[in-house]
Chains A and B, each alone.
Chain A
Amino acid sequence: MLPEDYVTPSTVEEALATLASHRGRARIIAGGSDLILQLRRGERAVGCLVDISRIPGLDEIKLQDSHVVIGAMATHARIERSRLVRERAPALADACSRIGSPQIRNVGTLAGNVVNAQPAADGSIALLALDAEAEIANLTGRQWVPVSSLFVSPGVSRVDASAELVIAFRVRAQAPREASAFERLARRKALALPLINVAARVLLDADGSRIREARLAIGPVAPTPFRTRQAEDFLAGQPAERETIEEAAEMAIRECKPRSSLLRAGKEYRLELIRVLSRRALIRAIETARGDEHVQDR
């Protein structure tokens, strides 16, 4: 069933009230670049689309209480160009710059990327490595929850877009001796799904020789965007050196379960990509965390 109604509320409360009045038959539309296709292919039945793109302030990107806060309607294009995100959450800016094409990035939003719950979603992978939280609004109020808790299975999010919506994301702004990086390989440089994508974040100790904390998120290697927790645990406290990284990449391979896919590539090749891209992302994050204090000061 194609939607018979299309409403453009001007507040979050109005959007929630509209959703409630349709009792599960309405759905939030942000950029719509995925949803329009899903509707037309009959993959979703929706009676009413609730377009949140005209709610003032929902597209803001700002620094607040030492967090980078990104509004739900911020497009990938705005995130990739945001100086704040590039400097304080670089893996996310990189990830958003690799999605789809310029036209898709001009319309698609980070919130849509997350709520679509695809295990390969570049934005979700970066958010996982950054320990991001999402602010969810529903009739019971507003609540910050970890992004990692939002994924159920391929295409299924814990956010019920027929009753609630994501308002914003927040990630702790990168501290001194901390950095993140994103790596991706696809068949082309644009308009192509990732064969593997990886986001890494490291926090080093004061002299930059040891890893205090690490995050390594990889897609699509599991039913949901995936964190390699064994590799992360192993990295904490280890020297920030080549051998450590090689070993962590080896552990990541063992944790991931990529499948052979005609759309992407064979399993064996993709396992090798996990090694190479994990290594590259970790090395780049460590080098940036060590060297580029001026990045913080600009």
Chain B
Amino acid sequence: MSKTVELHMNLNGEDVRVDIEPADTLAEVLRERLGLTGTKIGCGEGMCGACTVLVDGTPVNSCIYAALKAAGRHVQTVEGLSQDGKLHRLQRAFLEQGAVQCGYCTPGLLLTAAALLRDNPHPTEPEIRAAISGNLCRCTGYTKIVAAIQAASRSGPRSGS
């Protein structure tokens, strides 16, 4: 058994402390030690983007990200997107546009898209496709996912999040 160390971070707006092992990935800590299973592990080697979370606002693959790199930083997962029981505009747009099929890639795509719209509120389609190029979807193709992100960009941050 490896010895444990304490990780402090701000997770979805709340300060958390959790005992982890030094080689734990952020995805494991979120899912197995904190019970936040919204973050999915797809390939487990940084090749699919299903595990994408935001660290200080930047999308990273949490399955190959040392959890201790998040110490003292702000981590956002899909659980932090909705506010007061109201879905984020991206979540609503994904539902309305039918951009969800099996759903496994969805949490990662939502966070990648949230970071995109924060930096670029009205992205073009090529900008959206470039931004989500690290998030693989094996069900739908990307047409409806791109449409959902476009729809969310039109609805603006004031209408719901």
Contact = CB atoms under 8 A, between A and B. Distances in A.
Interface stretch (B11-19, B20-28, B74-82): B20-28
A93 to B, nearest CB: 15
A206 interface: no
Contacts of A37: 45-46, 64
A102 B59 contact: yes
B23 A191 contact: no
B48 interface: yes
| 4 closest Cβ pairs, A-B complex | A101-B134, A190-B133, A6-B22, A2-B23
Given A103-B52, A104-B134, A32 B22 contact: no
B148 to A, nearest CB: 18
A106 B59 contact: yes
Given A3-B23, A4-B22, A32 B66 contact: yes
A244 interface: no
B133 A51 contact: no
Nearest to A41: B45
Interface in A97-127: 100-104, 106-107
A51 B47 CA distance: 23
Contact of B23 (A8, A40, A100, A107): A40
Contacts of B71: 8
Contacts of B58: 106
Contact of B66 (A51, A103, A104, A191): A51
18 contacts: A2-B23, A4-B3, A32-B69, A33-B65, A36-B25, A37-B45, A40-B25, A51-B68, A101-B133, A102-B134, A103-B49, A103-B59, A107-B61, A107-B64, A107-B65, A191-B49, A191-B133, A191-B136
B23 A103 contact: no
B5 A102 contact: no
Given A3-B2, A36-B25, A36-B65, 19 more contacts: A3-B23, A5-B22, A6-B5, A32-B64, A33-B61, A33-B64, A33-B65, A37-B64, A49-B23, A49-B68, A51-B66, A101-B61, A101-B135, A102-B112, A103-B46, A103-B61, A106-B60, A107-B64, A191-B49
A17 interface: no
Given A3-B23, A104-B61, A190 B134 contact: yes
Interface of A: 2-6, 8, 29, 32-33, 36-37, 39-40, 49, 51, 53, 100-104, 106-107, 189-191
Interface residues of B, number: 30
A36 B58 CA distance: 19
A36 B65 CA distance: 7
Interface string B39-69: 0000001111100100000111100111011
Contacts of A3: 2, 22-23
A25 B134 CA distance: 34
A191 B133 CA distance: 8
A55 B130 CA distance: 31
Nearest to B133: A190
Contacts of A5: 3, 22
Contacts of B69: 32, 51, 53
B60 to A, nearest CB: 5
A293 B47 CA distance: 39
Contacts of B130: 102
B5, B22, B49 — which one has the most chain A CB atoms within 10 A of its CB?
A: B22
Given A5-B22, A40-B23, A101 B68 contact: no
A25 to B, nearest CB: 13
B133 A104 contact: no
B94 to A, nearest CB: 19
B100 interface: no
B60 A49 contact: no
B36 interface: no
B21, B59, B66 — which one has the most chain A CB atoms within 10 A of its CB?
A: B66
Contacts of A2: 2, 21-23
B65 A191 contact: no
